Structure 1
């Protein structure tokens, strides 16, 4: 499949909150900050090797609450299923789910199921996604701009072709909710278990849902962080709106999600993007930027970034990826303080938070921000361990 390198405009961009300029360039995955940590000396530091080694329990620091051996042990165990998938084809330079799509474990059925109603099959896909464990599911058209210009050969970190099967027309975007109690303990190795658990969940879910679609006789490529940028697809599928903290804010779980995707030829009915009012709220809220310990998050209005690890020619809030990753490396674990302190980090199944959400997405957003002023404090990891696990 051949893609155009530049395509400044696209359907539904305005409703999705995506502002693409004439300087747009598709992103090369080799420039992702985590991939750069393997080849770019300006990103590497004395902490980088220890950061990656800690995920193998080879360099796990023992330095206080949230960073003990059992904290790292739980975090690393939570990654296990994702790691098994990503490492199974490593000798060929393909880290599945991260620097390469997840390889098909089942063939496309020779007999193709007849699809007469795309809306009906879309509803069915959402039902099956929920059956396998996805918390959110929506559909959008394939938009070539958000596919990586190239993927990465992990043997030497060189560019590699980023191809999809012929006939791909749609992207199924799945959301996976992170554990609220663990997120409350960021920054800590313990909190990293919330991240790893969802990567393991989504690996299983996208593989199973993609297999179901292939069993119907249609192409389905299971994908996590690989192949393309998931945030634009999530926005265009109507799952939420982009925020200052670089996350998609959903009306179901706020920012407390991981996303995966499936590229498919199944004839589907697409969901519409929605303007919720998150951007207007972020215009008056800087809690994430204020809380960032290395000041990696932006103040002010969205702008077009020239950073190596940011997609070129898109007007948006952009973090300083080198500062952010540097802090991760120093702690030997991921950081999501910006997720923890986000006013949208709430349980929206509760009536009081539903009322708050209506305020936050209305002209009364400053009232909602005032009501949030005492929320978002860090919970000590020891308190999580002390809870009754029943």
Structure 2
């Protein structure tokens, strides 16, 4: 017998946005995100950037207000938005070899709340238009959700478990990225943290993929081989000489080409069955105009990453083994 439908989740194609929500989506987000563009370019500031940088400021306020109505969520996101001070860069530099520094960074991050770590060379396409990052490397930290809490999404005034876990992982991302940046600064190198929940200069999923932390899923989120789509990301850029980690193909992208779980679970039908050209790259893309109104009403949603087969602890090992066999046969 299948599990009962979460009563807070409308079935696909049965949900329509409230008129007052629809009226706030005054401009389509898909062209701004670069759908249909064949030439690579830097991404434009979007929904979680400051409202003077995009046309959805009022809708962003509604999304935040609805999220904070959920029990415990205000405290969770307050912790995620409380940034410690950044220390000055030490005048004394740790001149250990890059191999040693890389291992020290890895150990330090994993002992300070990060659940996984990758390192990628900086690419100008990782930086939002209108921003600048001068450091040559980006360290990406993965913060794993608690699956049993995550599967409670979406949240509302009766149940805030799911959205609180989102806030808790963003808070871990804030603490871990600032702690790591301060440790690197203490070694005599430049370092700047880029946590959520608000957006800043750094796009996180592309460098995470380049650093081997996962593959892009059909739902537009990273699929990590250890945690599935149940991860949040934070970043640290630096000039510390480190050895980048390599991209990793483990079959998530291939699996998504035939899997329909997130497509069928999405109440507004925002997840498309085929890849699209987005800023010069053919990739999975979630329809902004369908996703964001539901996201705003449903206190941050999260259904697609919770329902993703890769996120389920009992399913993921079998998927990894199956896809490893298929990739080996290819």
- Calculate the TM-score normalised by the size of structure 2: 0.80
How far apart are 1:318 and its partner, in Å? 0.7
Contact 1:231 1:248 in 2 (8 A): yes
Matches within 5 A, 1:163-242: 163-164=132-133, 166=134, 168-189=135-156, 190=160, 191-224=162-195, 225-242=199-216
Separation in structure 2 between the aligned mates of residue 255 and residue 121 of structure 1, nearest angstrom: 29
Are the equivalent residues in 1 in contact too, given 2:66–2:297 (CA < 8 A)? no
8 Å CA contact 1:139, 1:172 repeated in 2: yes
Name the counterpart of 1:79: 77
Q: CA deviation at 1:278?
A: 1.2
Structure 2, unaligned stretches of length 5 or more?
A: 1-36
1:41 CA displacement: 5.9
- CA drift of 1:134 comes to 0.4
Question: What is the aligned partner in structure 2 of residue 257 from structure 1?
Answer: 231
What are the Cα deviations for residues 317-362 of structure 1, in whole angstroms up to 9, with x where unaligned? 111112111002223x111111121110122xx6x74234211444
Find 2:103's aligned residue among 120, 123, 130.
123
Q: Distance in 2 between matches of 1:196 and 1:277?
A: 29
Aligned to 1:248: 222
Out of 305, 312, 320, the position equivalent to 1:357 is: 320
Q: Tell me, which stretches of 5 or more residues in structure 1 are unaligned? A: 1-20, 61-71, 86-102, 151-161, 306-311, 365-390
Secondary structure of the residue that 2:152 maps to in structure 1? coil
Q: Is this contact kept in 1: 2:177–2:234, CA < 8 A?
A: yes
Give 2:115's aligned residue. 135
| 8 Å Cα contact 1:174/1:261 also seen in 2 | yes
Structure 1 pair 335–38 and aligned structure 2 pair: CA distance change class (3 A): farther
Deviation at 1:79, TM superposition (A): 1.3
Q: Which structure is higher in RCO with an 8 Å CA cutoff and minimum separation 6? A: 2
2:284 paired residue number: 317
Contact 1:245 1:297 in 2 (8 A): yes
Distance change (3 Å), C-alpha of 1:340 and 1:128: same
Q: Which residue of 1 aligns with 2:311?
A: 345
Per-residue displacement from partner, 1:122-175 (whole Å, max 9, x unpaired)? 11101000111100011111111111121xxxxxxxxxxx233x5x22111100
* 1:304 paired to 2:277: yes
Question: Equivalent residue of 1:79, what SS?
Answer: helix
How far apart in 2 are the matches of 1:34 and 1:219?
26
Name the counterpart of 2:301. 335
**CA gap 1:362/1:243 in 2 versus in 1, 3 angstroms:** farther
Secondary structure of residue in 2 paired with 1:326 = helix
Q: For residues 149 and 281 of structure 1, do their structure 2 counterparts lie closer, same or farther at Cα, with a shift above 3 Å needed?
A: same
SS in 2 for 1:133: coil
Supply the distance in 1 between the matched residues of 2:140 and 2:71 (Cα, whole angstroms): 30
Within 1, Cα distance between the matches of 2:50 and 2:90? 39
Whether the 8 Å contact between 1:43 and 1:326 is mirrored in structure 2 is no
Whether the 8 Å contact between 2:38 and 2:277 is mirrored in structure 1 is no
Q: Offset at 1:26?
A: 0.6
Aligned counterparts of 1:42 and 1:109: Cα–Cα separation in 2: 41
SS in 1 for 2:269: coil
User: Matches of 2:56 and 2:103 in 1, distance apart?
Assistant: 47
1:303–1:361: structure 2 CA closer, same or farther, 3 Å change rule?
farther
Provide closer, same or farther for how the CA distance between residues 38 and 188 of structure 1 changes in structure 2, counting only shifts above 3 A. Answer: farther
Taking structure 1 as the reference length, the TM-score comes to: 0.68
For residues 104 and 269 of structure 1, the distance between their equivalents in structure 2, rounded to whole angstroms, comes to 27
Counterpart of 2:268 in 1: which secondary structure?
A: coil
Q: Does 1:271 align with 2:245?
A: yes
Aligned residues: 285
